[in-house]
Structure formats: structure tokens, C-alpha cells
Structure 1
């Protein structure tokens, strides 16, 4: 079954709301940040092919941003992964403390069960393959190790994977239920083969006990992320583990546990500064709201991370919006 959802059929003043409902219906609940130029109207189109186990969508849309936030995580509990293929344009993607640009001809894996951010500075063309979490985990152990890591489709298994997707895009409407199931299984096998070539696939995988403790710690930190009293010692006490063991649990991650906490707080502050709804909130209020005890410390960390102070960042956003 194929469906097409397009803002072309909607009045300009309602197009952004329509788009938000469309992507939430096709994928999962997401927050949408509109383009920063302030103009009315929004241009986007989704074509979804869904037949049994096969769920493939094509997205063509102008620049904007989507966020899978903690608030949205609580609205649905669907366990799915998404393979995002960059057919045209470029995307900035962040999940699990890993961030970077995805260019044309690359693809990334995203976990719909955890928060992430995608920003598109200009118009993009994506293909999106949705894979149930239990299916992917049966083929790839701990697939969250590979999220937000751009994978090249220029050669090897990656090239074959993208080639099959491109062919499928043209023929998906002709597949019956049984054929679609076979193609879906083959795609997961190809994806597994491609991911197996990544350096992360050869890193020591934590034991089941270590994974259990990591999930406990991550759940606790997500719940208390903006609590100013949150610290490694308080987390360790809450989960009844030593601070030293906590550090060891996360030693293979790109960010330490403490670094991840500060990163998430700074990202929340940056989103607040970008939001027109928070234009009248003071910088001190934003700093306290995301877990900082000292506004000066917030300002120093923000500048060190993003290259400008919160005040200068907000001024630049306001200038761009009024230009």
C-alpha cells in the first residue's frame, strides 16, 4: 500500500501543522522547528510504501529541524529503528552523544526509542527504512552502538544496500505481502553486513550485566537530567554502584557520563534560545531550567561548545529572523 502526503493540498497558514501531523503519523511523535526565515507556508512531501514487514518512505522537504525529545518519548513506546538515506542535500544528526553531518550518498541508523535531533539547513531528499527493534537486534547485537554514525554508500555492502533500496523505490508498489516480507528480511541482512564493516562492530561489547546497569543509569539520568543536584556520585548512590564502576561502564562511549549530561543540558538550552516561544525568558531562567546552578558557568560552557555566548547566540538568531 502506498500513500502520498503533501503540503501542496493545504492552505499556506496550515502547512507546517499539516507537516507535523504527517511525519508523526508516518514515523513517530516528533517536535518540529520551522525554518528561521519567518515566512508563511511550508513545502514538504512524503510517499510511504508499507506492506507487511516492509515500511519504506521517501521524504522531500525544505529546510527545518525535527527533534525526538523526552516529552515525545513518553507519548509512544514503539520500538523501532530508522535507516535514514541522504539522497540529496545534507543533514546534521545527533543521538547518543554522537553528532555530525550526513552528506549525499550516506546513511545513518537512528533509534526511535531514544532522543535525537536532525537539522536540515536546506532542502533535503531522504529515503527512510523503518525496522522493528526486535528484528534488528536479532541481526545486530546492541545496534545502538552504531546510531548517528554516517555510513558511506559509495562501495562494498553499503553500495549494494543503497542500490537495493533505490530499485525497491521503483517497484515497491508491485510487491505482494509475501514478497515484501522477503525483501524486508534481505534488507536487514544487507544492513547488518554493512554495519559489520564499521570500526564500532569490532569494539568489545559489554556483558549482559553491564548492559543492564548501563540501561538503569541512562534511564535515571534521562529522568533527572535537569536536576541541578544530579552528579556522578548521586547517580552512583541511586543505582547502588560505585562512581568508579560507573565511569568504567561508559569508558567506550564517545562522551563520558558526565560529558553526556552537560551535552544534553546545553542542547536543551540551545533549543530554548532558538525557540520563539522562549524569546522573553531570561538567560538566567534558561540556565536554571536545564540544570545549571551558576549562570556564569552556563555562559562559559555554552561559549566553549557553540563558539558564542548565549546572549550573542540569541542576538544572532533574532537578527536573522528579522532580516
Structure 2
């Protein structure tokens, strides 16, 4: 986000752009304002987006809103990037998905820290409004020496310090920053201090883990996010792809109070939830989504979703607005036939 030079508040919008060019122009806007990204939408002619931004000391506060779309950074965007930076993101309205070291389902108020050096995908499934705080690498490291520990992890908006940071960021909108009666560097320092407290709070959830164990745990998580769709995927196969022994893999996960089976199930659930809550997969049956996510059969998939989410996959789809009740009923009948 260091690309923006903001005296007060900068504003950008697709409102006055020709519909056929909005996606490409908006990708250019995001690239010049922040970092190179791709932007894709199922209905390009209906795409709308708005942005306001303001400098907050060393930080850049960006408020974005618009219609559903996907965006992110692949190898092409990484190759075109300049200085590395972090981005702290939080939705103000609806749930959305982020794929960044882990597949995350983030509710309003949840936070995630993104590293511009890593591949990232964002799926905004409904009209959205969220904050994106650009953070210089060296500045954040003064507050959080082990920044990698936070990258790509869900920071719950209802945790002790997560709730405090979420409440603070809701007040840290570009207009408020521009009109603040105190130095903007002081406003920024509150973000750094709260992230430091969050890092300490989250590290306390893994009292016996070591940095090397957490690092290996993250590598296992990255691998599972890519391979969870493989039926019969084993710890041996993952360990072999990472160039480590099975014993080392299990020891690292145990040090983080986790198991391979739990991590694999989490990866498959995150993969399935992204498909269930995306209109792109609206015509695919629940049973097929379960299979694509790596579940052995539709009944097991349904039980896992119900246990974790409190609703069936069909109900989750209707609640997310990705399919109608009639379509969901038809898919349920097809899935029953698969069992």
C-alpha cells in the first residue's frame, strides 16, 4: 500500500467507468494503490468497487466496498511486486474466504495478517465492506519479532485482544484518521501494540510448542491445503513431499497440540466450505463437493459439516444465498442417491 501518496483522503470508484473495462481498471487501481493483484468476477459488467484511503503514520488505511468477486496474488503478481509488506484485513459486514497458508473462513470482526511475499486468494461472496491496513515490514517487526507466527492465521474477533483490535479498527476509518486530533503515528502505535498482545495471547495457546515446530506445522498446513482433495492422503505421503520423516511430522504437530488427522479434516472442511458458499459451485451437488474436498462419502461429509457448523450442507448453502431452497432440495435428493 506504500504506493499511495495520501495527503488526506484518497477516493477511487468504478462508478464512472465503462462496464467492460471495470475489472481491468480496478486491478490497476489496486496495483498502484497497494500491490499487484488480479481481480475476477462472474458478472464483469455488473462489477462495482469503491475505495477510500488515508495515511496513518507508517500505515495506510484502506476501506473497500463493492460487489462479489475474487482477487489475490499468484506467481505473476508476486513477480511484479516491489517492496515486501504486510496487510491486516477485517470484514465489516459479511463472511468471506482467504486462502493464504491456510484456507480460512472469516466472519465480520475476524482478522488475518497477509504477507505480500506469499500467494493469496480472496473470495468475496457477497456485497462486501472491509478494511485493509498496509503495514511496513520493519515497523511491525519492532512490535512483533516473530511476525510469521501470525501470518495466514485467523485472529478471532471474539478473543480477548482480537476483540479489542477489531473494535479499534472499526473506528480507524480513513475519514476518522484524516480528522484525528492526535498525531497519526500515535494511532498507528495502538495497532502495533494490540498485534503484539494478540501474538502473545495466541502463542499462549501453544504453551509447549517451539518456533521450529510451529514452522513445520505451517508447512504441513500449506501442503494439506494443496492436497486435501486426494483420497487416502497419508502422513507418510505428506512427510515425503516435505522431505522429512513421518516421526518428525508427528512430533512437530504433537508439540503444537495437533494431530495429522485433525489438520487433514480442517483442510478438507475449509475447502468444502469455500465451495458450498461460492456461487461458482451452485450447480454441483453436495455429495460431489464433499468428494472434491477429499471426503470418502456424502454421509460422512454431512455429519462433519453438521457437527462443526450446526447445520447441514444444504442449509449452509441456503443461508449463504448461493442456491435457492428448491435447488438445494434437488441437490439433497441427488446426494441421498449417492449414499
Kindly report which structure 2 residues correspond to 1:231-250, keeping only aligned pairs within 5 A, or say none: 231-238=234-241, 239-242=244-247, 244-245=250-251, 247-250=253-256
Listed as ranges, the matches of 1:88-107 within 5 Å are 89-93=93-97, 96=102, 99-102=105-108, 106=109
SS at the partner of 2:50?
Answer: strand
- Describe the superposition over 1:176-216 as per-residue Cα deviations: whole angstroms up to 9, x where unpaired: xxx77x458524433335636x8535323531221332244
Q: Tell me, in whole angstroms, the C-alpha distance in 1 between the residues paired with 2:165 and 2:226.
A: 39
Give CA deviations for 1:270-303 in whole Å, capped at 9, x if unaligned.
47x7328x96x89998777x46486xx2575267
Residue 206 of structure 2, aligned match among 204, 207, 213: 204
Q: Deviations over 1:236-275 (max 9, x none)?
A: 344213264254145259x92211331244246547x732
Q: CA RMSD in A?
A: 4.8
Equivalent residue runs for 1:1-323 within 5 Å: 1-2=5-6, 3-28=10-35, 29-30=37-38, 32-34=40-42, 40-49=45-54, 53-62=58-67, 64-66=68-70, 68=72, 72=74, 75-76=77-78, 79-86=84-91, 89-93=93-97, 96=102, 99-102=105-108, 106=109, 108-112=111-115, 113=118, 115=120, 117-119=122-124, 121-122=126-127, 124-140=128-144, 141=146, 142-144=149-151, 147-150=154-157, 159=167, 163=171, 169-171=177-179, 182-183=185-186, 186-192=189-195, 195=198, 199-204=201-206, 206-228=209-231, 230-238=233-241, 239-242=244-247, 244-245=250-251, 247-251=253-257, 256-267=262-273, 269-270=275-276, 274-275=279-280, 290=292, 292=294, 297=297, 300-301=300-301, 304-305=304-305, 307-308=312-313, 316=324
How many residues are paired up? 295
CA–CA separation in structure 1 for the residues paired with 2:268 and 2:162: 36
Report the TM-score when normalising by structure 1. Answer: 0.65
In the aligned structure 2, how far is the partner of 1:298 from the partner of 1:24?
Answer: 42
User: Does the 8 Å CA contact 1:16/1:41 hold for their aligned counterparts?
Assistant: no
Q: Classify the secondary structure of the residue corresponding to 1:149.
A: coil
